[in-house]
Chain A
Amino acid sequence: MPQLKPGEISMGTTIMAVQFDGGVVLGADSRTSSGTYVSNRVSDKLTKVHDRIYCCRSGSAADTQAVADVVRYHLALYTAQHGEEPTVKVAASLFQQICYDNKDNLMAGIIVAGWDKVDGASVYEIPLGGSIHKLPFTLAGSGSTFIYGYCDKLFRPAMTKDECIEFVKNSVSLAISRDGSSGGVIRVAAITEDGVERQIVHGNNLPQQFLG
């Protein structure tokens, strides 16, 4: 069972991705911690691996950054080698291959989401062991456990882009308020055929909720 080595930076995290007709919306908190100290309170866990393919990273910061860098390199070369843009499925498969083959030495829980011409919008989850799951929406990270019920109840397959963005903001906000390893700002990325739109919700603008 992979564990964080002593002193290794952890991305406690709440990350999620939601598919809608025409694109995907990714969301994440921004806290990376080293033990009880928050080493970066504004980190960006939504990492671009290709023009319209992003990944959400959770687990060990070092491991996920290294894996994402390798995948980004392969996808950059893909178009030159294959004569067409890589699909989200290709990106997810690359992630899976690395995470599975090195499962003993990695602690990486990754969500791959994006838009491509062949399959349209796709969301893939690659948890710790290196299995791959294609889903309409998915959550990961330590904070996700607190919002499974909320997300299962509220998700609808036919949401619009703006409804998805609201859904993601509300969900991550609830997870942040209950999970000590999640916090900071909420980063949102909406990927469609037209490109990537990035948003940020600061701590003082979080959606309304019970605060005690």
Chain B
Amino acid sequence: MAPLLEPSTGFKFDNVKRNQMLADKGHLLPRATKTGTTIVGLVYKDGVILGADTRATSGPIVADKNCEKIHFLAPNMYCCGAGTAADTEFTTNIISSQLALHSLNTGREARVGAALTMLKQYLFRYQGHIGAYLVLGGYDVTGPHLYAIQAHGSTDKLPYMTLGSGSLAAMSVFESGWRAGLSRDEGVELVKDAIEAGIFNDLGSGSNVDVCVITKGNVEYLRGYSTPNQRVAKEQTYRFAPGTTEFIVPNATAQRSEEEGTAMDVSA
């Protein structure tokens, strides 16, 4: 019998039948970690500012209270990701490595438009099954650029935008506060306010605000720029004084019975 030829790249669907059988028996599949999320980007006087919250959810549970949603693409480009956490992580990693090779091939700093085309053509090819919703911002030789990329492969070029479940809350802040030619401090404050609107009004977003300021030739990655959800000090302590639990038999050890079964072979 000839060996099965497996594709070396791309998705593997071997477990689909097994998962279906398990689901039929009543075993619920673990839900993919989604980033719920509020991500924003805006263009200001000297460049772009990206912002994101830091909560990753798995259904109703918070899977990560302080995850990083602003991903590195190139020294002059960063990308916020909403949607399925694994998809945003791996999509940005793949395109980041392609950009590095592209930069070496051309001998030039990569342009934001190049990253945009690579991302949109990659996501369009998978027809929306890769759940990556991205806010791409960067500064290249042609100036500052900000793009929104949807999972199905459509893109928008805008001076300010929000994505994710908290996008409506954040957009209300931007629509009332954005104007052309903001200063750096005004821009960062506006981004912080927009993300905090998502953190406090959207259940899928929470924890801290990460900010990334990209200007000509310089990137400031402000991890944890605002931490409005720090855990308060506990009001009481749960330490028990030694001697609280009374021993009936002092220094007793567990009774081991020898006859039950054979010992596990741990020689190898």
Which of A60, A61, A62: most chain B CB closer than 10 A? A62
A-B contact count (CB 8 A): 49
What is the number of residues of chain B that contact chain A, defined by CB distance less than 8 Å?
18
Tell me which residues from 2 to 48 in chain A have a Cβ below 8 Å from any Cβ of chain B.
Answer: 5, 7-9, 32, 34, 37, 39-40, 42-43
Contacts of A7 in B (CB 8 A): 128, 151-152
B154 touches A60 (CB 8 A): yes
A40 touches B128 (CB 8 A): no
B156 touches A5 (CB 8 A): no
* A65 on the B face (CB < 8 A): yes
Contacts of A8 in B (CB 8 A): 128, 150, 152, 154
A5 touches B128 (CB 8 A): yes
Give Cα A203 to B237, complex, Å. Answer: 61
Give Cα A69 to B167, complex, Å. Answer: 28
Give Cα A53 to B124, complex, Å. Answer: 25
| Cross-interface CB contact of B127 among A5, A9, A37, A61, cutoff 8 Å | A5
B150 touches A62 (CB 8 A): yes
Contacts of A40 in B (CB 8 A): 148, 156, 158, 161
A62 touches B156 (CB 8 A): no
* A66 on the B face (CB < 8 A): yes
Give Cα A61 to B148, complex, Å. Answer: 13
B154 touches A65 (CB 8 A): yes
* B155 on the A face (CB < 8 A): yes
In addition to A8-B128, A62-B128, 20 A-B residue pairs with Cβ atoms within 8 Å of each other are A5-B128, A7-B128, A7-B151, A8-B150, A34-B150, A37-B167, A39-B148, A39-B150, A40-B148, A40-B158, A60-B154, A61-B150, A61-B152, A65-B153, A65-B154, A66-B121, A66-B124, A69-B117, A69-B121, A105-B127
A-B contact pairs, 17 of them (CB 8 A): A5-B152, A7-B151, A8-B152, A9-B152, A37-B167, A40-B148, A40-B161, A60-B152, A61-B150, A62-B150, A65-B154, A65-B155, A66-B120, A66-B121, A66-B124, A69-B117, A69-B121
Q: Which residues of B contact A (CB under 8 A)?
A: 117, 120-121, 124, 127-128, 148, 150-156, 158, 161, 167-168
